[in-house]
């Protein structure tokens, strides 16, 4: 087959206008017609490193806007028109054509109007009878529409994955909120049940304290009456022996101490029960004006067992106004931050709680002298399920849930941390959240 015969057929006349009559067309003319009208550009190159084009089918003008003779005349035409981002991968593997015999690529190729089209290129090595490379034949097909559709589908898939992730995050936060609400209801129920027996025990202890004081008063009066009537020596000796055996002096001091300690213990139980009730706020769905200091103190009572063995709490409360909020939800935020602060301290440390207000905002800063947060983790700590704690030690939802609650209040959480020195979380809240009356 002589390429020059093909080339002599080319002209400025559009390809479709040169369709030969079926009965008059020779096989060669018919073949030329088919090549010129196929969607794929057929080309040949030399089987050497520069891959100079030796033939390009006429339909290159229809697809790319270049005349075949111009493409053949420029020895670097193919290389120079591949997108710079795609060229390295192609150039580094072209030699494999001579090993494998055939290679296929997808890359962007610059058309005459300057736009890049996605092309599918199949290269095949042709050898002569002795096995020596003769030429490389290629087929270029415009796949821009397919690539655009793939990119659109990929973008749509990414959007769907993002939406699914957000839905999962919302579901997990909802489940966590429902769990916290259930815990709050349970805590309130337990507090109510404890409150009843504590109430009558406390009342009984108060009465017992009076009875014991009366009994020891009677004993003292008896001693005074006996001493004033000079009883017989045998009776005096017997009374003294009974008093010594019973150790009345010790009993009086110790009974008084026991009752006082029991009364103090009952007061602590009452404080914890009240803290449980304040913390849970069962049924709270309305925004209300609340004292954040009261919420912090209630939360400290709840988490006391988590932090009292590892940290002392330094309360540096400032002057702050009451805040319109969902108090129980903010208590959950404070609880998460205080528990995390306790976990960050390995041996002994200090947790500092500071509060203040300015320009219609209040802030609560909770600092610890713990291990701190690595810089690469700081930007991820509010992600759902992200945790630096060992497996089984945390769900990774605490800070995510806290972030959502504070955001719901129109506020924000800032974090500052230095590894090895400690971390400070600062919750900033508007005194009157925007649209608080319409939320809930």
Q: Is the pLDDT of residue 375 over 80?
A: no
Q: What's the predicted TM-score (pTM) here?
A: 0.43
Distance CA 392, CA 356 (A): 36
Q: Is the pLDDT of residue 391 over 50?
A: no
pLDDT attached to residue 281: 55
Length of the chain in residues, anyone?
440
Distance CA 423, CA 211 (A): 54
Distance from CA of residue 243 to its chain's centroid? Answer: 72
Where does the pLDDT of residue 332 fall: very low under 50, low under 70, confident under 90, or very high at 90 and above?
confident
Q: Is the pLDDT of residue 243 over 80?
A: no
Helix (H) or strand (E) holding 219: helix 144-228
The pLDDT tens digits of the residues spanning 85-113 come to 999 988 888 888 888 999 999 999 999 99
Q: Is the pLDDT of residue 11 over 50?
A: no
What does the block give as tokens for 440? Answer: 């809930």
The pLDDT tens digits of the residues spanning 108-127 come to 999 999 999 999 999 999 99
Helix (H) or strand (E) holding 413: strand 412-418
Better pLDDT: 141 or 379? 141
Could you give the C-alpha distances from 298 to 265, 301, 302, in angstroms and in order?
A: 17, 5, 7
Report, as an integer, the average pLDDT of 316-328: 92
Nearest to 296 by CA among 322, 315, 273: 315
The pLDDT tens digits of the residues spanning 140-180 come to 999 999 999 998 888 888 888 888 877 776 676 666 556 65
What is the number of other CB atoms lying within 10 angstroms of the CB of residue 170? 12
What is the number of other CB atoms lying within 10 angstroms of the CB of residue 19? 13
Report, as an integer, the average pLDDT of 185-194: 66
Report, as an integer, the average pLDDT of 242-252: 78
Distance from CA of residue 150 to its chain's centroid? Answer: 29
pLDDT attached to residue 26: 81
SS3 for 351? strand
What does the block give as tokens for 345? Answer: 């301290």
What residues are paired with 105 via a beta bridge?
121
Better pLDDT: 390 or 160? 160
What does the block give as tokens for 293? Answer: 């200091």
């Amino acid at each position: 087959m002589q390429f020059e015969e093909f080339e002599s057929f080319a002209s400025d006349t559009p390809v479709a206008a040169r369709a030969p009559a079926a009965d008059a067309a020779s096989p060669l003319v018919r073949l030329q017609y088919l090549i010129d009208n196929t969607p794929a550009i057929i080309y040949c190159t030399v089987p050497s490193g520069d891959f100079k084009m030796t033939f390009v089918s006429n339909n290159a003008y229809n697809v790319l806007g270049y005349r075949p003779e111009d493409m053949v005349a420029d020895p670097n035409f193919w290389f120079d028109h591949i997108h710079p981002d795609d060229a390295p991968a192609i150039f580094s593997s072209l030699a494999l054509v001579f090993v494998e015999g055939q290679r296929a690529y997808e890359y962007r190729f610059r058309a005459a109007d300057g736009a890049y089209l996605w092309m599918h290129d199949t290269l095949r090595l042709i050898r002569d009878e002795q096995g020596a490379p003769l030429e490389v034949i290629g087929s270029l097909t415009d796949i821009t529409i397919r690539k655009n559709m793939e990119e659109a589908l990929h973008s749509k898939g990414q959007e769907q994955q993002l939406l699914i992730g957000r839905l999962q995050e919302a579901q997990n936060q909802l489940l966590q909120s429902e769990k916290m609400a259930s815990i709050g209801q349970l805590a309130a129920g337990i507090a109510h049940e404890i409150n009843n027996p504590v109430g009558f025990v406390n009342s009984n202890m108060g009465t017992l304290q009076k009875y014991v004081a009366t009994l020891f008063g009677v004993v003292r009066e008896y001693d005074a009456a006996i001493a004033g009537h000079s009883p017989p020596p045998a009776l005096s000796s017997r009374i003294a022996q009974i008093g010594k055996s019973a150790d009345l002096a010790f009993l009086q001091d110790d009974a008084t101490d026991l009752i006082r300690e029991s009364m103090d213990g009952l007061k602590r139980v009452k404080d914890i029960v009240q803290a449980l009730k304040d913390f849970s706020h069962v049924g709270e769905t309305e925004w209300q004006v609340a004292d954040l200091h009261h919420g912090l103190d209630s939360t400290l009572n709840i988490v006391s067992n988590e932090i009292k063995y590892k940290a002392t709490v330094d309360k540096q409360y400032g002057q702050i106004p009451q805040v319109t909020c969902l108090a129980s939800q903010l208590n959950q935020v404070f609880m998460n931050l205080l528990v995390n602060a306790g976990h960050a301290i390995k041996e002994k440390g200090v947790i500092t709680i500071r509060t203040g207000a300015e320009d219609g905002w209040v802030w609560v800063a909770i600092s610890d002298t713990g291990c701190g947060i690595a810089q690469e983790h700081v930007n991820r700590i509010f992600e759902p399920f992200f945790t630096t704690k060992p497996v089984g030690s945390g769900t990774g939802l605490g800070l995510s849930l806290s972030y959502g609650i504070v955001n719901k209040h129109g506020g924000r959480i800032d974090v500052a941390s230095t590894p090895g020195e400690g971390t400070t979380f600062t919750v900033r809240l508007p005194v009157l959240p925007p649209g608080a009356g319409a939320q809930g």
